[in-house]
Amino acid sequence: MTTRHSHTRDRAAGLARYVLDDQPQDGLFARLVRARGPHSEVVLDSAAALAVPGVALVLTPDDDPGIRFSTNPHGSRDDTSVFTREARFPGDVVGVVVARSRAAARAGAAAVTVHERPLPAVLDPATSLDPSSPAAHRDHPGNELARFAMGCDEADLDRALAGSAHVFEHTSRIDAGPHHFLEPVAAVARWDEGRCLVRSASQCPGLSRALLARLLGVDPADVHYEPVTIGGSFGGKEEFLLDAVAALCSRAAGGRPVTVETDRREMTTAFRVRHAATVRVVTGVDTDGRILARHIDAVFEGGPYAGHSPSVTANGLALALTLYPAPATRATGVCVSLNRVPSGAFRGYGAPQVLFAVESQLDVIGRRLGIDPVTLRERNALRTGDPDPLHGWPVRSFGLSPCLRAVPVPRPPSGPADAPGPASGGRLRRGTGIAALVNLSGLTGVIGTDRAEAGCRIERGRVVVLTACPDVGQGIHTVLTSVAAERLGVPPELVDVELDLGQADAGLFASRGSYLTAGAVAEAAAELLRRAREVSPDGLLGPDGRLRAGLEGLAAGGAFAAPDNALVAGAQAAEVEVDCATGVIRVLRVVSAHDTGRVLQRAQAGEQVRGGVLQAVGMALTEGVRFTPDGAVEQTSLLAQGVPRPPWRIPVEVHLIEEPHPVGPLGAKGLGESPVMGIVPAIANAVRDATGAELDHAPFTPERVLAALRASPDPTVRAWAGDTFPPSDVPPSD
């Protein structure tokens, strides 16, 4: 299928068409029926709903296809039903009401009686890991969604720790957080002569098409995903959720179009959350701070369905293992199943959780040994030419050192007795903290060889780029436009991008767009240029600046198979002010440096970084999801969940270290996920620099900060944070 996709300029002009912007005149509307309890067997009584004027039909677990699938279209445990008979979290989908109007659909869904027979529920990680606990998903005994062990064996680790001059242990925790893209999930489906036509904001439409075809029992060629503008994602639209509901509703309604919608309350309470995680790091170093042994152990909190949780856990551990290779390094982790709203893919994909612990501990090590944070990281970090710690192939580029040199460095530590912050005794303390990061630009070695295809053709006097990769607002189609224009020597204004699921490309995820998809477009454009020169040796453009008429219909394809993951390095610094009396942290400035390879769109890349930094500041200071005793999400709005608001104005200084990656046609690497990865530990380290306080639980709410300040080694900090205000033995506030 090939159809025109909206360009970035259409978004800016308000002309872009999102999922719900094109409503068929004869269409029906659907609302989901959800369970209330954390774990129960359900029976639906739809009589009252069918009596609501305008309600056309109700689908229940009796209408489920009976085929289990994973909401992770890349593949995971097949443990999910479209309509489940066993509800496994508050908000699990047990049915759907289809009606002739939105109001009738909503009223019908509210009228359905859901009889729930309670089952034992698992609501916290400690209970989940207890072998005697009930299963959160009874079809899968035990509550371990996945368990991982990477690196050296335990015996080698223990020997290396025993031989270390210093051993440090650190545990950190990040709470569950919101998925806060603004466009609620929706899907529209209709049947036309045996074909299912779908409008859905999927990051991976090619994979979703294959999965939907399996559930419907049809050939994938008979499932057509229509291109739509996607209003943000941050990984959340990698989930396969409503497409099958819409398709089943339309088929039951005789093929009429059916729109399945959600609202903001559903999105904040029953969609997905960012994984909560607890990470313990034990590190042995020599007297110069060289890491001799390290054990990273993590517990990630999933939901009752596996989805992305196993791969999120694995990715976080693998990246932390990669950043600082050592003679004996081991990473272990478990992702546990809980009867709470499932955890899903989110920007950073497990790395922010694990790097929080790793980078916070490095700050402690440097201060105890009197080694500045840049030197300590450079001394231990992965370098270009080193073997990849996980795969063994040579690392072809990894520019961490220039990234570290681009960020402001905290004041030099003075040794084991290092005193925090300015010794003024003032209420407001300022400090700077840094953190390093590593990310992937693809999944080679994880899924085999990551590969992307693309096409180019000349049609109606324009160059058309064909890709199966959608644009989720980060501007990948603008990148593809510029790549094709540069390769062909034509103005970008003559290039269009179209969604074509005939191209083999898994979609938009893992920061792979500029490396994999753009690389494939570059190859396709180069081949088109070669063919065009055979027809027109004078080039594609005529004297009038238009494409030559003789080139009409010319087409070419290209592919790029990545031999590595194009590792991305980065360093981030945060300058903060801490109010020692209230526990409020104010971020004064952030500097974010990234080894991106060749930069394809500099202004766009800078905005990617700024947006990611602000998102990560929210993760550090305000964002969190709380659960009620029965596992339901307590907050029902983005405001209550602490999502950063537009008034936030934090200066972000961006440095893009442009050293082209020697692999691939463009020399580019990924960027999109990296800006969120190091901000949480950078802010924690800045607070330590300012006050000596150890922050090990994010978000850093004023209550948690005050508790940490009361344990600071600085007596004036403890006094300001104590019960007496103002303290009588310190001078007035600066």
499-511, pLDDT tens digit by residue?
888 888 877 777 7
pLDDT at 3: 44
Q: Would you say 410 and 432 are in contact if contact means Cβ atoms under 8 Å apart?
A: yes
The structure tokens 């196993």 sit at 310
Lowest mean pLDDT among 76-85, 127-136, 468-477: 468-477
339-368, pLDDT tens digit by residue?
999 999 998 999 999 999 999 999 999 999
pLDDT at 447: 72
Q: Would you say 64 and 82 are in contact if contact means Cβ atoms under 8 Å apart?
A: yes
Beta bridge partners of 652: 590
| CA nearest to 296, candidates 377, 350, 235, 371 | 350
545-557, pLDDT tens digit by residue?
899 988 999 999 9
The structure tokens 């709903």 sit at 49
Domains and CATH numbers, the chain: 2-119+185-261 (3.90.1170.50), 273-443+566-720 (3.30.365.10), 451-561 (3.30.365.10)
Quick one: which H or E segment has residue 31? strand 28-34
The Cα–Cα gap between 419 and 410 comes to 13
The Cα–Cα gap between 356 and 684 comes to 9
The Cα–Cα gap between 224 and 196 comes to 6
Mean pLDDT value of segment 534-552? 89
453-476, pLDDT tens digit by residue?
999 999 999 999 999 888 887 788
DSSP assigned state of 394: B
Residues 6+ apart with CB under 8 A from 492: 481, 482, 485
Lowest mean pLDDT among 102-111, 209-218, 319-328, 403-412: 403-412
The Cα–Cα gap between 47 and 108 comes to 10
66-76, pLDDT tens digit by residue?
999 999 988 88
Angle value at C-alpha 38, between 35 and 39, nearest 5 degrees:
85
From start to end of 184-253, where are the E strands? 186-192, 195-200, 223-226
255-287, pLDDT tens digit by residue?
999 999 999 899 899 999 999 999 999 999 999
Give the three-class secondary structure for 684. helix
The structure tokens 């040796």 sit at 537
- CA dist 67 → 70, 96, 206, 250 (Å): 10, 18, 20, 18
pLDDT at 34: 97
- CA dist 441 → 157, 572, 668, 681 (Å): 30, 19, 9, 23
The Cα–Cα gap between 469 and 481 comes to 13
pTM for the whole structure: 0.93
pLDDT at 723: 53
User: Is residue 101 scored above 60 in pLDDT?
Assistant: yes
Amino acid at 243: D
Beta-strand relationship, 93-99 and 223-226:
unpaired
DSSP assigned state of 7: -
How buried is residue 493: exposed, middle or buried, by Cβ count under 10 Å (0-12/13-18/19+)?
A: exposed
| CA nearest to 292, candidates 224, 393, 365, 357 | 365
| CA nearest to 680, candidates 624, 641, 727 | 624
SS3 content of the chain, % helix, strand, coil (to 5): 30, 25, 45
What is the number of alpha carbons within 13 Å of residue 403 lying toward its C-beta? 31
Q: Give the CA dihedral 201, 202, 203, 208, nearest 10 degrees.
A: -170
The Cα–Cα gap between 598 and 612 comes to 20
The structure tokens 């060289």 sit at 290
585-628, pLDDT tens digit by residue?
999 999 999 999 998 888 888 988 999 999 999 999 999 999 99
Q: Higher model confidence: residue 570 or residue 6?
A: 570
Angle value at C-alpha 626, between 181 and 138, nearest 5 degrees:
95
pLDDT at 311: 93
| CA nearest to 692, candidates 295, 418, 443 | 418
The Cα–Cα gap between 672 and 694 comes to 30
Beta-strand relationship, 186-192 and 462-467:
unpaired
pLDDT at 248: 98
Amino acid at 410: P
- In 10 A of CB 552, how many CB atoms? 12
Phi-psi region of 545 (alpha: psi -120 to 50; beta: other; left: phi over 0): left
pLDDT over 70, % of the chain: 95
Residues 6+ apart with CB under 8 A from 69: 78, 80, 211, 214, 215, 240, 244
Q: Would you say 366 and 413 are in contact if contact means Cβ atoms under 8 Å apart?
A: yes
User: Is residue 137 scored above 70 in pLDDT?
Assistant: yes
- In 10 A of CB 368, how many CB atoms? 17
Q: How many helices (H) and strands (E) would you count in the chain?
A: 18, 27
b/e per residue 169-189 (b: at least 16 CB within 10 A): ebebbbbbbbbbbebbbbbbb
- In 10 A of CB 148, how many CB atoms? 17
Tokens of 694: 């150890």
| Angle between helices 351-369 and 309-323 in degrees, nearest 10 | 30
- CA dist 89 → 93, 115, 368 (Å): 9, 15, 45
pLDDT at 412: 65
The number of angstroms, rounded, from the C-alpha of 631 to the middle of its chain's C-alpha atoms is 23
Q: Would you say 573 and 682 are in contact if contact means Cβ atoms under 8 Å apart?
A: yes
312-334, pLDDT tens digit by residue?
999 999 999 999 999 999 999 99
The Cα–Cα gap between 154 and 167 comes to 16
User: Is residue 724 scored above 70 in pLDDT?
Assistant: no
Q: Would you say 335 and 312 are in contact if contact means Cβ atoms under 8 Å apart?
A: yes
Length of the chain: 734
DSSP string, 355-377: HHHHHHHHHHHHHHHT--HHHHH
| CA nearest to 196, candidates 255, 277, 130, 274 | 255
User: Is residue 414 scored above 60 in pLDDT?
Assistant: no
Which range has the top average pLDDT, 533-537, 575-579, 659-663? 575-579
User: Is residue 94 scored above 70 in pLDDT?
Assistant: yes
The Cα–Cα gap between 246 and 187 comes to 6
Residues 6+ apart with CB under 8 A from 417: none
pLDDT at 641: 85
The Cα–Cα gap between 587 and 577 comes to 6
pLDDT over 90, % of the chain: 73
DSSP assigned state of 82: S
The structure tokens 């594609």 sit at 540
